[in-house]
Chains A and B, each alone.
Chain A
Amino acid sequence: MNKIDVKNLNFYYGTNPAIRNITLSVELNTVLALIGPSGCGKSTFIRCINRMNDIIPNTRTEGDIIIDGDSITHPKYDVTSLRRRVGMVFQKSNPFPKSIFENIAYGLRINGIKNRYEIERIVEQSLKNTALWNEVKDRLNESAMGLSGGQQQRLCIARTIAVQPEIILMDEPASALDPISTQKIEELIQDLKKKYTIVIVTHNMQQAARVSDYTAFFYLGELIELDKTEAIFTNPALEMTENYVTGKFG
């Protein structure tokens, strides 16, 4: 079953096309990795899925993105509810300058959850789901800024899943982390896909191979090839993909 269907998507910065006529689908409870050289449109593409690009002036979107049958590109579609359904994790961890507890509780409160015990329960569950609970349970009221980079990133993922999104977008979530923290994030992605559908941008091809079920190769704003990850890394159909994954260009 498809969670996301992208149809003939074009995206322009001014008159400059950054995404050219992309059509693809993402299956429910799978991880899709986007690979391709810098500037190929990977990040622009995932930012279309929760309409983060709306805030950039002088841009234009054509085509359609459908999530569970709803066209989310429609101007009347409620962007706030979209961003609740589609969470995002960025390259640089960006916790709020608040306590660890408040980082997660904040999103719950603005989503209307008032019951203190309910909030405590969700905070604990989110931290457990991101394998952070044991590391922070004794200092929930300390500032999140005191956590290590890897812990901050996992806190941001905990914050994202606390509001129960359906889709998680990740833009290079581990590129600034050490190997151990990276491994933890990758393990987490594997666990999270049981509940969520994940689209991840990564420059690290081995990471794409490790965490994803499907891999899409982008080049100059176009989708060149999308296939099962194993096929892309053992026997890609197109020479261009072959050249990219074997490091001949990019």
Chain B
Amino acid sequence: MPTHLELELEAIKSKIFEMADLAIEAISKSVESLKKSDTTLAQSVIDGDSLLDQLEITIDDECIRVLVTRQPAATHLRLVLAILKINTDLERIGDLATNIAKETVRLQGQPTLKPLIDIPRMAEIGIEMIKDALRAITEMDPVIAEKVIERDNEIDELNIQIYRELFSYMAENPKSISQALGLIMIAKVLERIGDHATNIAERAIYYVNGVDVRHSDD
């Protein structure tokens, strides 16, 4: 039978999953709004960010309460510490998705320079990484998390590729500079989302194995 502490940890875990769902939805909607030049959809992402902010505060509060009142140890302690950090990563992901949505609003319904292929691909990979990093926590499987960390390279490469492509657009047609710079910024934002997903995967490994793998490839 689970202890009271374990029930409380389950409740915090389900809140972090709820937050992850919101962050994932924000990424997918913001990129969708850019693709379809849909400012209404973009605005809904911007407005929805406050929900993520609220959850961040709630999860922090509940983690602090558990630390103070239950003094967890070993796996329980590592879960609370991991969640405290994942919480910040997810909130940052929400902010980054908002930046993409703001770019859609700035374009005011103008179509994009070219049909977007690599940017939605980056978003897809980022979303899969976040989902897998959290799956590593539910299944307590560090191998899943290790694979997430490896996938960060895919996002990084796409970012470089997009940069090069848009650079040649700008060289050929100076009128494209404003929009191209916006898209370069968005690719950079998605690259950052990949970094946050990597962080979440690293916290998952810490939770399961008790090993800190941050900066281990530096």
Q: Does A247 contact B (CB under 8 A)?
A: yes
With A247-B3, A247-B5 as known contacts, state yes or no: A234 contacts B71, CB within 8 Å.
no
Which of B3, B73, B209, B211 has a CB less than 8 Å from the CB of A245?
B73
With A234-B210, A235-B210 as known contacts, state yes or no: A246 contacts B71, CB within 8 Å.
no
Q: Does B64 contact A (CB under 8 A)?
A: no
Q: Does A206 contact B (CB under 8 A)?
A: yes
Q: Does A192 contact B (CB under 8 A)?
A: no
Interface bin, chain A? 10 to 19
With A234-B210, A235-B210 as known contacts, state yes or no: A246 contacts B72, CB within 8 Å.
yes
Tell me the total A-B contact number using a CB cutoff of 8 A. Answer: 31
Please measure, in the bound complex, the distance between the C-alpha atom of A75 and the C-alpha atom of B74, giving whole angstroms: 43
Q: Does B78 contact A (CB under 8 A)?
A: yes
Interface string of A205-242 (1 = CB under 8 A from B): 11001000000000000000000000001111000011
Please measure, in the bound complex, the distance between the C-alpha atom of A83 and the C-alpha atom of B209, giving whole angstroms: 44
A205 surroundings in chain B (CB, below 8 A): 71, 73
Please measure, in the bound complex, the distance between the C-alpha atom of A246 and the C-alpha atom of B77, giving whole angstroms: 9
Please measure, in the bound complex, the distance between the C-alpha atom of A235 and the C-alpha atom of B211, giving whole angstroms: 9
B6 nearest CB neighbor, chain A only: A246
Q: Please tell me if the beta carbons of B5 and A234 are within 8 angstroms of each other in the complex.
A: no
Most buried by B among A206, A233, A234, A236: A234
Please measure, in the bound complex, the distance between the C-alpha atom of A247 and the C-alpha atom of B3, giving whole angstroms: 9
Q: Does B138 contact A (CB under 8 A)?
A: no
Q: Does B76 contact A (CB under 8 A)?
A: yes
Q: Please tell me if the beta carbons of A245 and B74 are within 8 angstroms of each other in the complex.
A: yes
Q: Please tell me if the beta carbons of B71 and A242 are within 8 angstroms of each other in the complex.
A: no
- 18 more A-B residue pairs beyond the given contacts A205-B71, A247-B3, with a C-beta to C-beta distance below 8 A: A209-B73, A233-B73, A234-B77, A234-B78, A234-B210, A235-B74, A235-B78, A241-B74, A242-B74, A242-B75, A245-B73, A245-B74, A246-B72, A246-B73, A246-B75, A246-B76, A247-B5, A248-B3
